[in-house]
Structure 1
Amino acid sequence: MSARLEAGDAAPDFTLPDDTGKDVTLSDLRGRKVIVYFYPAAMTPGCTKQACDFSESLDSLAADGYTVLGISPDAPAKLARFREKDALTLTLLSDADKGVMTAWGAFGEKKLYGKVVQGVIRSTVVLDEQGTVTHAWYNVKATGHVAKLRRDLGLEGASR
């Protein structure tokens, strides 16, 4: 596992396919603040809750200058079903080989039901307009995370 990112680090660039198969490149978003969050699997209860929370907050986050990218190891076709099933409005990206997750410290050893396993570490990283990390949280809880994120970023209307 790569070291976890910290405030002040330059975010590793990436190009990943979205749920339609179109490539999204992080460096193309320079000039905007970006929230990148990593989640283990589409259409599971915790990941669905978190994705719905981000979708419901997307307009207010965009008004505060943020673009949100959700990244999982799921294939684009599964991400498309996830978007359709839950009416998600955020950008969902596929990191099938987990290379981006590894580079960002969001893949590696974690505890699952008391056992140590290799897997996706639910994480959120916030970047400034130049692509520099301003905040990084690892092992976050799916439920309530977006509200906590908004509070930690000092955004108005922290709940949504």
Structure 2
Amino acid sequence: MKTKFKRLIKRILGRGRISYHLDTVSVSQISGWALNDVAPSTPCHVEVREGEKVLASTKAATLREDLLEAGIGNGCHGFMLNLEMLPFSAQAREVHLYINGKRITSAPLSLQSAFTEVLGDFASEVEKRMDALLAIQNERFQREFNYLKSQLDK
């Protein structure tokens, strides 16, 4: 009775064992599938984090024929995280993968930009200059936003 009650609570809360597989882990993308065994019709939330900072996130809700044929849920459990738009970093990023808030990678995944190898010794300088340009752009956006907001408040 106690076991059935625990299963019922897990089903209501949507918590349970997560089944998953990583198909691709590269600098530009991470892809695979994820399934919450207790709530198989609810898509899992997949995140890539560097420390506490979320770099990319998606729902595992893409239909995959291989999952459908294998009888894994309803087959709509695929995901792909596109990492190409992450800000440039001269250093390798040490990231972890999370599914439904639970870290699934025991060791960090190391993501090194392909440009770092091409740039060689200049990679750190390029990163500093890109950060400075982004700071200027953010400052401009903030000024424009504040101006528009002040016009709307009138």
Task: Answer 1 or 2: which has greater helix percent.
Answer: 2
- The higher radius of gyration belongs to 2
TM superposition score category, shorter chain reference: under 0.3
**If each structure's strand is expressed as a fraction of its own residues, which one has the higher value?**
2
- Whose RCO is larger (CA < 8 A, sep 6+)? 1
State the TM-score, normalized to the length of structure 1: 0.25
